[in-house]
Amino acid sequence: MSDVSVFHITLLRHGESVGNAENRLQGHADFPLSETGREQARKLAARWKVEGVNFDCVITSPLLRARETAQIIAEALGIPNFETDSLWMERNMGLRSGMTLDEIRARYPEPPFLNPYQSWSEQGESDWELYLRGGQALHKLLLRPPARYLVVSHGAILNKVLYSILGITPQANRQGAHFRLENTSFSVFTYTPHAHHWRVQVIGDTHHLNSQTV
């Protein structure tokens, strides 16, 4: 087990999905991993095995692309505690879910202005709704005992969790900070509850994707 007074939190975006490969805006549309995505997850698991990285618990979005990624890593590292939590699902993209970017441009042209409380995705989540859900997911995690947690999730919701950790709020027209989180990129933080102290170890690490071994 980890230091009893400190949370060790790793936030991982899922491997490439079939939807990613087809340039689709996925949202809650439930695409499986592509073979490339499975290889990415295996490479990360192999890297962590060599580095001696392990976790007390894996928490994953229930969407297939995240769950498959989590299962590959949990099995490779022998992590016994494996849970799903819908708070970590990708952003609800409304009517755009599963559509290609070309289809979206044809059917749903971008409005000239959006405040952060408006849905930009036809019945989907606004930036503010997603930000609040990201904060709720993080809060729920921090109500657990301190341990080493791996969370497997999605790019949009993970961006808003990073906002919650770093004290950033959503801006109008999706301006402001955006974290480019590639498939199987991971970000590592520690949190010390009694001092309310966050430490950023890394954001968006993908060094394993340069490896030739699986």
Cβ-proximal residues to 63 (8 Å cutoff; 6+ apart), any chain = 14, 28, 30, 89, 90, 154
Catalytic: which of 90, 125, 154, 208?
90
Q: From the candidates 8, 14, 28, 154, give the one annotated as an active-site residue.
A: 14
Beta bridge partners of 150: 10, 58
Of 187, 168, 188, 165, whose CA–CA distance to 178 is shortest? 168
Q: How far apart are CA 55 and CA 77, in angstroms?
A: 8
* 127-142 helix and 155-166 helix, angle to the nearest 10 degrees: 70
Helix, strand and coil content of the chain, in percent to the nearest 5, comes to: 40, 20, 40
Catalytic residue at 208? no
Q: What are the residue ranges of helices labelled H in 31-177?
A: 35-51, 64-77, 101-107, 127-142, 155-166
What is the gyration radius of the CA atoms in the chain, in angstroms? 17
Indicate if 90 belongs to the active site. Answer: yes
Return the active site residues.
14, 90
